[in-house]
Structure 1
Amino acid sequence: MYNHDGEDIFVIDSHTHLWDASTENITHEGGEQFIQCFYDYHTGFTPEEHQWTLEEYRKYSAERMTQDLFSNAAVDMAIFQPTYLSDFYANGFNTIEDNAELANQYPGRFVLNGRFDPRDGEAGKEELRRQKEKHDISGVKLYTAEWNGDSKGWRLDSDAAFEFLELCSELGIENIHPHKGPTIRPLNRDAFDVADVDDAATSFPELNFVVEHVGLPRLDDFCWIAAQEPNVYGGLAVAAPLAVHRPRKFGEIMGELLFWLGEDRLLFGSDYALWDPDWLVETVMNAELTQEQRDEYGVELSTDVMKKIMGENAAELYDIDIEAKKQEFQSDDITAEFGLESHYGAGTAPADD
């Protein structure tokens, strides 16, 4: 467990992937453009000493992912957010079945989310039912700009999407994670617009809409929607690494989010493997607002606030008992593998790496 200024912080990385963008898996030029754009984000916001080569980045092993997430106690649990992109990749970019294989190796450490695409119609509904039955998912990741044949995107407030959201409600899949952030080449920027969250959130108050990437670059639009919709949350993946090279911008983003949404509706996410929590957790935990920002927004990044953002809010959404997890992790496979016993023992905290 991560330790900050003498206090233990239980970290749930709410946005992770295990992807395959190897050249053998690419079936469309869009697949190469996509991973190259991802890599540009990686190198643009990752400290030089932590940057991967492109070949490492294309396809990494489950073993490497496990080590990067857990070996230095930066992260305690991680939530998988699948992104299929089946028009670009023969076996999918990042599928629930690939994620499940790793999650099954380390019970309790990963939360497995599914996905749906309303353009898949009845077959898509059957697939969503299968995901629930086989994996007991309680969340889905939605990629509204994903290509599907001749279609280059869909809307969360469409009739077809509402049918799937109704099914989610019936099945007990309560956490809806739409990607509403920066465009990844060659996808359509407008298909990631945050506006369609408004009607969906109003129409399904029993569901939680975790808007990934907090709508960037449409932060204002997102904040105004989230301010009026109490079931809208913000996922900080993509926003978090701005703390490295754009600390003042990161402070501005956090100030706006805390002013409009408050500390109970924000979730940390690394977007692994875009960025690695090995260094990102420490960077975010050490971030501060300027005095001017504290005065303007009336908030600050206190340890109590960050405890919620880094793990407690995700635990609330996914019904995770943090104290029970601490007990469970005292002797689980990852704790033994990486020698982390003291991290969950009685009172011995690790030094920051």
Structure 2
Amino acid sequence: MYVTENGDKIFVVDAHCHVWDARPENIRNRNGQMFIDTFYGAHKAMTPANQMWTAEEFAWQGIDKAAKDLFVDGYVDVAVMLPVYLRDFFINGFNTTEQCSAFKKLHPEKVILNGRIDPRDGPLGIKQLERDVEQWGITGVKLYTGEWKGASRGYSMKDPFVQPYMDRCLELGVRKIHIHKGPTTYPLDYDAFDVRDIDYIATNNPDLTFIIDHCGMPRIDDFCFIAGQESNVYAGLALIPSYIHARPKYFAKMMCDMLFYLGPDRLLFGSDYAITSPNWIIEKFMEFEFDEETAREAGTHLTLDVKRKILGLNAAKLYGIDVPADQSLEKAA
């Protein structure tokens, strides 16, 4: 929870979190090392100097440190975990469902556990999805279309092997589909994160909700035009708020575009922990304002109620999280 100088309480849902393991003993090959090095480069480029971590701190947090970074220092009321396996790069996986489940076991009321699917796994992957639903009660999954798998260096949501997974997700009540569509990370391929397959899968599955993590960045225009016509597509803002410090004008432009095309009700805050801490991002976001020209183009100022929606209320509604009365839009004056 974040509290303003006026005493307003802001409910915070960090809709994009990880607890990864990129320690040397878990790195499988050069690709794994370059992958985490690229992440760390982003951390250093965007994070204020007094908030930076060492490379060792960045490579592995552990669930105790993650809890402190998110729930104690980071203002987060609920963290949404999004597993990413990358077993071609990391021996025991980069950020597995099992790792995330250990975090949820420690903080059951503060952690939402999502699963992970890779449609290239075929029928065996659907069986694993069924087991994950039975074991952990997941209602959402993460797809990482740029992940390498043997000779495959990624896939598209238009590939024919994807739809059977969407059908089974719907049958199992797994209705929140997070799809990573953001900047490339070495050695992954740029075109594997192309956002222009989202209208296809969203149109064909109107009863599923698609959260596009990183909003197709840097393909924001493509994402905005697609999400503008697909009401079941949400903007997973992870990484975008991180630009608020190093490139505030760029951040303002991206937020302006998304507010114009999607409005304030389909934007979900995410810190992309552990690329950086939500602490400083939330503080700077609460201080951030549009100038008059940007507000005119966006169709709204970044009012307190707009910030409430983005920081937590939209994700709370999507995930069925109870929000205290004094932190909702219907709070007492």
TM-score normalised over the length of structure 1: 0.90
The equivalent of 1:3 in structure 2 is: 3
The equivalent of 2:234 in structure 1 is: 233
After superposing the two structures, state which structure 1 stretch, 200-209 or 292-301, moved more: 292-301
Cα distance per residue 1:184-207 (max 9 Å; x no partner): 110000000001111100000000
1:201 has 2:217 as partner: no
Cα distance per residue 1:38-66 (max 9 Å; x no partner): 00110000001110111111111211100
- Give me the whole-angstrom Cα distance separating, in 1, the residues matched to 2:172 and 2:199: 22
| SS class of match (1:75) | coil
Cα distance per residue 1:84-128 (max 9 Å; x no partner): 001111110000111101111111100000010011111111111
Alignment-mate amino acid for residue 216 of structure 1:
M
Alignment-mate amino acid for residue 219 of structure 1:
I
- Give me the whole-angstrom Cα distance separating, in 1, the residues matched to 2:193 and 2:288: 28
Q: CA deviation at 1:325?
A: 11
Alignment-mate amino acid for residue 306 of structure 1:
K
Seq. identity, %:
47
- Give me the whole-angstrom Cα distance separating, in 2, the residues matched to 1:138 and 1:108: 15
- Give me the whole-angstrom Cα distance separating, in 2, the residues matched to 1:30 and 1:259: 39
- Give me the whole-angstrom Cα distance separating, in 1, the residues matched to 2:60 and 2:74: 23
- Give me the whole-angstrom Cα distance separating, in 1, the residues matched to 2:74 and 2:186: 34
- Give me the whole-angstrom Cα distance separating, in 2, the residues matched to 1:292 and 1:245: 21
CA contact (8 A) 1:248 1:290 kept: no
| SS class of match (1:13) | strand
| SS class of match (2:210) | strand
| SS class of match (1:264) | helix
1:110 has 2:111 as partner: yes
Map 1:129-148 onto structure 2 (within 5 A): 129-148=130-149
CA contact (8 A) 2:143 2:180 kept: yes
- Give me the whole-angstrom Cα distance separating, in 2, the residues matched to 1:297 and 1:60: 37
Alignment-mate amino acid for residue 104 of structure 1:
K
- Give me the whole-angstrom Cα distance separating, in 1, the residues matched to 2:298 and 2:263: 11
The equivalent of 2:102 in structure 1 is: 101
CA contact (8 A) 1:251 1:290 kept: no
Alignment-mate amino acid for residue 22 of structure 1:
R
- Going from structure 1 to structure 2, the CA distance change for 1:6 and 1:324 (only over 3 Å counts) comes to closer
Q: CA deviation at 1:298?
A: 2.4
Q: CA deviation at 1:28?
A: 2.0
Q: CA deviation at 1:220?
A: 0.3
Alignment-mate amino acid for residue 278 of structure 2:
P
Aligned residues: 327
Q: CA deviation at 1:244?
A: 0.6
Alignment-mate amino acid for residue 77 of structure 2:
D
The equivalent of 2:295 in structure 1 is: 294
The equivalent of 1:41 in structure 2 is: 42
Q: CA deviation at 1:73?
A: 5.9
Cα distance per residue 1:309-350 (max 9 Å; x no partner): 111110111111112898xxxxxxxxxxxxxxxxxxxx9xxx
| SS class of match (1:142) | strand
The equivalent of 2:76 in structure 1 is: 75
1:259 has 2:254 as partner: no
The equivalent of 1:330 in structure 2 is: none
TM-score normalised over the length of structure 2: 0.96
The equivalent of 2:30 in structure 1 is: 29
Cα distance per residue 1:1-50 (max 9 Å; x no partner): 21124210000000000000011011121100100000011000000111
Structure 2 residue runs of 5 or longer lacking an equivalent are none
Alignment-mate amino acid for residue 170 of structure 1:
E
- Give me the whole-angstrom Cα distance separating, in 2, the residues matched to 1:251 and 1:160: 38
- Give me the whole-angstrom Cα distance separating, in 2, the residues matched to 1:283 and 1:181: 22
Cα distance per residue 1:108-157 (max 9 Å; x no partner): 10000001001111111111111111011111111000000000001112
| SS class of match (2:134) | helix
The equivalent of 1:127 in structure 2 is: 128
- Give me the whole-angstrom Cα distance separating, in 1, the residues matched to 2:150 and 2:299: 48
